[in-house]
Structure 1
């Protein structure tokens, strides 16, 4: 009986404890922009920046709300897929397998201090495995997308000041 009560108490404690994970970002292929914006604010500013740079939010997914519905508290966490059809067509003409990388994603994470971070894998990093076969034209598209993603992040950073 004591074992069951102890096990139940430990399970309840684990479910109530906040999730804490490693926040070191990989060096290669990632860009990470800390902001002073709160999580919800950063998401809104990101959506506006994506539109202002002529791109579209095509997917959004995150575990925060689903975890909360199960009684588990985790920091805000959202993956925002961004792309545009003309890029899809251009990439498909060069490499069908490369389209697995679309939409390319921004990652919004809530920090312990209430601020949020914007991070992303650069399009050139995502598309690099396909460049040997697809050639310089795919590399040029990747550079265009790198510039667009950087411009989106610059808008977000500007709103954070």
Structure 2
């Protein structure tokens, strides 16, 4: 009975960012920064590199208000109207992917990791509609997202 309880209790522990496995189309930046610092640095870097924080969401604070402690977890959506109009002119369906999201996750050792799906990966399913122009926009966004990540992670 003790073994069953131990296994069930272990299954209820929160997953840490270190549990993320490499995935095709993802960029991952482990950092030595604390979770709150990395969130703030991502928000600042988004503005610095010409995009706008459109959304922010995460379960950490809501869980804490319910008395549940989970690792820091924040999704930060970034885009701007210039890119939105350009994408929309090429593929109405592709714009559902905007804003493209950064993902900040807290690690068990107190550091945080920044990751995101590359814009070229996100927009790949719409290339049959958007063609080479959407490939070019995706490349521009890949550069911006990489610059944001490098700025925030340093």
* TM-score under structure 1 length normalisation: 0.85
- Residues 91-148 of structure 1, C-alpha deviations (whole Å, 9 max, x = no match): 0000000001000000000000000000000000000000012100000000000000
Q: Give 5+ residue unaligned stretches, structure 1.
A: 1-9
Q: Give 5+ residue unaligned stretches, structure 2.
A: none
Query: CA RMSD, aligned part only?
Result: 1.6
Quick one: which of 79, 85, 88 aligns to 1:83? 79
Quick one: which of 100, 123, 126 aligns to 1:127? 123
Residue 27 of structure 1: aligned partner: 23
Distance in 1 separating the partners of 2:85 and 2:21: 31
Give the Å deviation of 1:75: 0.2
Q: In structure 2, the residue corresponding to 1:37 is in which secondary structure?
A: coil
- Residues 42-81 of structure 1, C-alpha deviations (whole Å, 9 max, x = no match): 0111111111101110100000011111111100000000
Larger gyration radius, structure 1 or structure 2: 1
Using CA pairs under 8 Å that are at least 6 residues apart, name the structure with larger relative contact order, 1 or 2. 2
Residue 36 of structure 2: aligned partner: 40
Residue 101 of structure 1: aligned partner: 97
Q: How many residues align?
A: 145
* TM-score under structure 2 length normalisation: 0.89
- Residues 17-44 of structure 1, C-alpha deviations (whole Å, 9 max, x = no match): 6412572334211000000000000011
Confirm or deny: 8 A CA contact 2:26 2:116 kept in the other structure.
yes
Confirm or deny: 8 A CA contact 1:18 1:72 kept in the other structure.
no
